[in-house]
Amino acid sequence: MIASYAIVTGDFEKANSILANFDHRYPGYAVIALRRIGIERRFAIRQAGDRLVIVMMP
């Protein structure tokens, strides 16, 4: 799936966009909603990690 590749490469916005487009065309797939939730979670974790690195740098 293309969205999985986008996740692996770190392009969370593209992955979410792909899944949102699929969800718009074919509504009702619970798996798509769960994947989008997972993407948002991973994106939030990455942002928190990035902020932590910035704070720790002198």
5 — alpha (psi -120 to 50), left (phi > 0) or beta? alpha
Q: What is this structure's pTM?
A: 0.69
pLDDT at 51: 67
pLDDT digits (tens, 9 = 90+) for 13-40: 888 899 999 999 999 999 999 999 999 8
pLDDT at 57: 60
Q: What's the number of domains the chain is made of?
A: 1
Give the residue numbers spanning the domain of 12: 2-56
